[in-house]
Structure 1
Amino acid sequence: MTLFRSLFPGLLAVLLPGAALAQTPSQFGCSLLENASVAAIEGSDGVFYRIQSDLRLQHPMDDIIVQRLAELSRVLAEGGTTLIYANVPTKGQAMPAYLPPDAVDYGYDKTMMEANYLDVVTRLNAAGVPAPDLMTAMKSAPEGEQVFFRADFHWTPEGARLAAKAIGETIRALPAYSDVTPVTFKTREVGKAIAFSGLRRELQGFCLNAMPMAEATTFETARSTEGPVNDASDIFADGGETAAPTDTGGTVDIFGTGAAEATLALVGTSFSDSEINNFSGFLSEYSGIEVVNYAITGGNQFGSITSYLTSPEFAAERPTFLVWENPIYNSLAQFGSTPLDELIIAAGPPCDIPVGAKPSGPQTLRAGFEAGSLKANDALLFDLGTIGARRVTVTLETATGIKRTVRIERGERLRATGRFYLRLTPYWLPDLTRVAVEFDRPLGDQSTIMLCPPSKGDAS
């Protein structure tokens, strides 16, 4: 079938609906890439673009989402943490030079794509959410230097470096950085490596010849014995040898570097989690702060930040800076209001108001309230008291017997912190009097339901 596609691409383009009418000849004998499970097109120099995620004209961020991010930023700041939202541009936005002429057949418009990205970061910054312009930073790469892998959608080490530089410069300009004593980090080259690419594996089935591997020169970053760095723009230019590398790739003790030192937690997607690009290392170097990387591959837009903000580590001690990396095509509105609600509650004051919850089964807690005592904007913490729980089913019941049920789940790639937060607003009724929560694990001595106090700026 592969040979048939290669010999008769024009005929198949007529016979099969959705096939492009005119395509640039393939360097790798590829055809019908638009029919792959991840539809793609081939550009020049063996660069491939996903049609939906990389070429779509609109990846909007609704004003409601901007407002919710601003609320999350404010609540985190009340607890001493500054949020930086790192909006990763698409391949079509940050690396348009390799697009084929027929990209316009799919609606690609370079001016509109760039305006779309700049609109999002401009509105976030105006709302008080620091959001560096990673698109412009990545487009500043020297001619011929690719910031995304040719047959994959992740950034290369150079793309990661330029993004980290822009984020580091943003962090250094923030008011909270005035109290930071920067630490010197050095980055050194460690040789070639190849990363696995699911996209390349999928598209290879539509090509006769081997597509480009996700191969790059790799780097590692570690603390230096030199003094503080004062000029972030010159950090990477030094390129000297480093001391023994410090592992920042796992979920280690974020406060192990000393209480007097600023801390930076990184949450995000596979862009941050991939070892080949050294993103967290570059971020340490350009920010002058040790980065602890909590990113999760396959966790999508909320997996990593939800795992971290609901964790005992965050509850016990909060970082100075929190960088949330998320590609622009991962919409924060995709799952409704619940994920951002949960983040805002978890970021707020500790939920430590007892409600007198009692066990009513091996996995269930119940609490009763007087009618009118629970308000629409109240929130509850359901805490198993130990790790392991991935799902809770919450039942809210009124004095007249009306019941509403909501399920909160953590996917297999997320941390099973055993802590779940729920804002009552979407489910509230004036005579709400009973709340029950069923965990997917047996209760323990520390299992509880707690009422969350409002944040300082919450007028309700």
Structure 2
Amino acid sequence: MPGMDEFTQVVASGEIDALTSKKDGLRLKAKLAYLPALSIFILFACGVAVLGHFWNSKEMADHRQSKRSLADVIQGREALAVERIYKDVFPIRDFSTGLLNLISFKIFGEARKGLIKGSDGWFFSDEEFSWNRKSLSMLEKHLNFVEDTLSTLREAGIEPILLLIPEKADIYRDKLGDVTVPSSREHFYENVRLRLITMGAPVPDLREAFLQAREQKPVFLKSDTHWTVQGAGVAAGSVAQVLAHHPELKHKEFTLKPEEEIVHMGDLYKFAKFSIFEPFVPMPGDALTSLAAMSADASLDDLLSDENEGPEVAMVGSSYSANAKWSFEAQLKAEARVDVINFAEEGKGPFAPMETFLKEKLHEQKQLKYVIWEMPLRYFDEVAY
């Protein structure tokens, strides 16, 4: 029957298709059987390539030339040294770190270490959001150090002026995006400033001054932890108001000369390690015009005075004072009309430079009458300095 023949053909065709699929499945299964072995081979090849890159690296070649003893091998020092080199030259380290940072930055709005992404292109340090079980004890330790330092300065006949710098995240809370200031730091500036005031030293309210000044010009850099030149100028004006009550200081006129404008890539970008993925993350710099203090024509009193006496006002502190980019020293000279000697240091916070000053510099500065101690608030609860 024609119908039966058609049915037979369909069945036969189906059987053939089934047999064909079965054969294809067997062939695919046979191919997949090689996948574990192939994967192991690829991993082995990658391992050999990584080992070869590591062994032939300049760092490892230099290490092989160094002297090592049997004790270094037995006690594990050699293994630790090789491990450190391996971590530095690992071929995909930058790639993997960059990829993880990119994912964290794009999805969660923060880099894996140190960087908080705000709104409108603002970046913040996570140091201004942290508070742990050691924070309170470190705060007390630093406050005790400040109190001891003030006593030492007064014994030397020097009056201290404390310049407490508020946190960027506090002044620009409206630029934090989805991040909020933790309750532990809600009144951090006011509380620390009050403790400092009870020690008897002038402490200008720089937080209030910054909140007013930011309505005209930015007082902190978008991509940096530091203040702008304008913010440093506000601080200089606050200190000058304190010094204005002491006419016994020798005054000297300074004029401010603008330097060439540059684009400053902020220090917060050092936490944004995106490796080859940097093109996917816009990182604009901040326009910056530094100021240089130029001494005006010397007066007759200046010419007759002892040139070896030196400035009567010293500055000690962190990179806020040490780095000439922010022009704090220059603006302080112009605002207060006094010469200043600068003992601030970059990268050490406010406390270590003061320790160095007390131990190594104080006894040499017989002419000093005032020491301005610049201290960013965010260092007060840090574990180390």
TM, length-normalised to structure 1: 0.53
Query: 1:159-182 CA distances to partner (integer Å, 9 max, x unpaired)?
Result: 111111112222334xxx242232
Alignment partners' CA distance in 2, 1:69 and 1:132: 16
| Separation in 2, partners of 1:257, 1:196 | 40
> Equivalent residue for 2:119?
43
Q: Which has the higher strand share?
A: 1
Report if the CA contact (8 A) 1:94-1:136 is conserved. no
The corresponding residue for 2:218 is: 146
- 1:247-396 aligned within 5 A: 257=307, 259=309, 263-311=312-360, 313-318=361-366, 319-331=368-380, 334=383
1:282-315 CA-to-partner distances (Å, cap 9, x unmatched) read 111222211111211112333322222222x431
Q: Is the 8 A contact 2:263 2:286 kept in 1?
A: yes
Q: Which residue of 2 aligns with 1:130?
A: 202
Q: C-alpha separation between the residues in 1 aligned to 2:287 and 2:129?
A: 24
Picking from 235, 240, 261, the partner of 1:192 is: 261
| 3-state SS in 2 of match to 1:265 | strand
Map of 1:203 onto structure 2: 272
Does residue 55 (structure 1) correspond to residue 129 (structure 2)? The answer is yes
Deviation string for 1:57-88 (max 9, x for gaps)?
79768566545423421331221211122222
- The 2-side partners of 1:193 and 1:217 are apart by 6
Classify 1:225/1:3 alpha carbon distance in 2 versus 1 (closer, same or farther; 3 Å).
Answer: closer
Contact 1:70 1:127 in 2 (8 A): yes
> What residue ranges of structure 1 are gaps of 5+ in the alignment?
13-18, 20-28, 228-254, 340-460
- Does structure 2 conserve the Cα–Cα contact (< 8 Å) formed by 1:218 and 1:277? yes
Q: Matched residue pairs, number?
A: 279
| Partner SS, residue 276 of structure 1 | helix
Q: Percent same amino acid among aligned pairs?
A: 21
Q: Which amino acid in the other structure matches residue 193 of structure 2? A: V
State whether residues 195 and 276 of structure 1, in contact with CA within 8 Å, keep that contact through their aligned partners in structure 2.
no
Deviations 1:76-109 (A, max 9, x none): 1221211122222111122323221x113xx546
Aligned to 1:191, the other structure's residue is in SS state coil
Q: Specify the SS of the correspondent of 1:84.
A: strand
Cα deviation 1:372-427 (Å, max 9, x = unaligned): xxxxxxxxxxxxxxxxxxxxxxxxxxxxxxxxxxxxxxxxxxxxxxxxxxxxxxxx
- Residue 325 of structure 2 aligns to a residue whose secondary structure is coil
* Structure ranking higher in helix proportion: 2
Q: Which has the larger radius of gyration?
A: 2
SS in 1 for 2:201: coil
Distance 1:299 1:62 in 2: 17
Task: Indicate the RMSD between aligned Cα atoms, in angstroms.
Answer: 3.4
In the aligned structure 2, how far is the partner of 1:327 from the partner of 1:142? 18
Q: Give the unaligned 5+ runs of structure 2.
A: 1-95, 300-304
Secondary structure at 1:97's aligned position in 2?
Answer: helix
Matches within 5 A, 1:60-75: 62=139, 65-75=142-152
1:80 to 2:157 alignment: yes
